[in-house]
Amino acid sequence: GESVGLHLPTLSVQEGDNSIINCAYSNSASDYFIWYKQESGKGPQFIIDIRSNMDKRQGQRVTVLLNKTVKHLSLQIAATQPGDSAVYFCAEQYSGGGADGLTFGKGTHLIIQP
């Protein structure tokens, strides 16, 4: 079946460096692609989303890139801080037929080293 998945389970970067978390998706009909951050013991927290008709969107210290040709999504975090340490999930949303739920990938654990 179609699914959203992540290439790497763990990513370790030095504090202050930039990090890139990657995601592959397979449902070309999805309307939105989203990144969530989950800190230990907490629920997922929305970071940024991108509509399927866009290829780049920037937020505060974060940039999401969408490459529909190869069905690839990435999250760039600039100047990483200790508080960025968390598990990052990509997710996709398809709203056809009144559908509403998000399909999450497995997650990448980002570790920020001092």
Task: Examine residue 93 and tell whether it contacts another protein (CB under 8 A).
Answer: yes
Indicate the residue among 25 and 36 with the shorter CB distance to another protein: 36
In the chain the beta strands, taken as DSSP E runs, fall at 4-6, 10-14, 19-25, 32-38, 45-51, 56-58, 62-67, 72-77, 86-93, 102-104, 108-113
CB of 36 to another protein, least distance (A): 8
**Does residue 83 interact with another protein by CB under 8 A?**
no
User: 20, 7, 43, 14: which is closest to 111 by C-alpha?
Assistant: 14
Smaller CB distance to another protein: residue 105 or 110? 105
Smallest separation, CB 114 to another protein (Å):
26
Binding-site string for another protein from residue 95 to residue 114, where x marks contact by CB under 8 A and - marks none: x--xxxxxxxxxx-------
> Contact residues for another protein (CB under 8 A)?
31-32, 34, 36, 38, 41-46, 49, 89, 91, 93, 95, 98-107
